[in-house]
Amino acid sequence: MIQVKDKTFETYITEEALRERVNILARQISEDYGGKTPLFLAILNGAFIFAADLLKQVAIPCEISFVKVASYHQMQSSGTVTELIGLTENIAGRPVIILEDIVDTGITMEQILQAVQAKEPESVKIATLLFKPDALQKNIQLDYVGFQIPSRFVVGYGLDYDGHGRNLPHLYVLKE
């Protein structure tokens, strides 16, 4: 059991189990993208450890770019506009793989997807370390999923609680 700020968490998925699963995803991606040079788009901050561990095991030529997502409400029209900050690569005509830490309601991922698709890549696939199927509200296809988990709050391996805990090597779940 560990303490992050005012909350208590217990070990949920160990560093070893995470690495094993991430290596399998890397192998799968390497097979699926044989002969191609995919561009990985890692979503900061949460996906930084997942991206690093995954990329070390990707055995085909590839590039990686780290982007932040900024969402804001437009004054004139309805809806939210999502911008990818830090995306300097031209992704038009390229196979893109989005790397995310967790998909919960899917609202964030749907917006990221729209922002990426607007730049006309050859293809877009999604790799997420974690997926909470019970919370999903959007119809999005997750191509590579590390672990399906129940709707409980997790921290560690890149994911934070109020800015803390990203450095923890294992994944922890909030103690109920």
Residues acting as catalytic residues: 104
Among 38, 106, 121, 146, binds ligand 5GP (CB under 6 A): 106
Tell me if 102 contacts ligand 5GP by CB under 6 A: yes
Strand partners, 71: 82
Size of the site for ligand 5GP (CB under 6 A): 15
Largest pairwise CA distance in the chain: 49
Angle between helix 15-32 and helix 48-56 axes, rounded to 10 deg: 60
Select from 93, 106, 96 the least CA-distant residue to 29: 96
Select from 38, 37, 61, 42 the least CA-distant residue to 53: 42
Tell me if 154 contacts ligand 5GP by CB under 6 A: yes
Among 87, 108, 133, 147, binds ligand 5GP (CB under 6 A): 108
Tell me if 46 contacts ligand 5GP by CB under 6 A: yes
CB of 61 to ligand 5GP, least distance (A): 28
Tell me if 4 contacts ligand 5GP by CB under 6 A: no
Of 47 and 58, the one with the shorter C-beta distance to ligand 5GP is: 47
Tell me if 13 contacts ligand 5GP by CB under 6 A: no
Tell me if 39 contacts ligand 5GP by CB under 6 A: no
Whole-number Cα distances in Å, 10 to 18, 122, 175? 16, 42, 6
Residue in the structure block whose two tokens are 């109920």? 176
Among 22, 42, 96, 103, binds ligand 5GP (CB under 6 A): 103
How many H helices and E strands in the chain? 3, 10
Contact positions toward ligand 5GP, by CB under 6 A? 46, 101-109, 153-155, 159-160
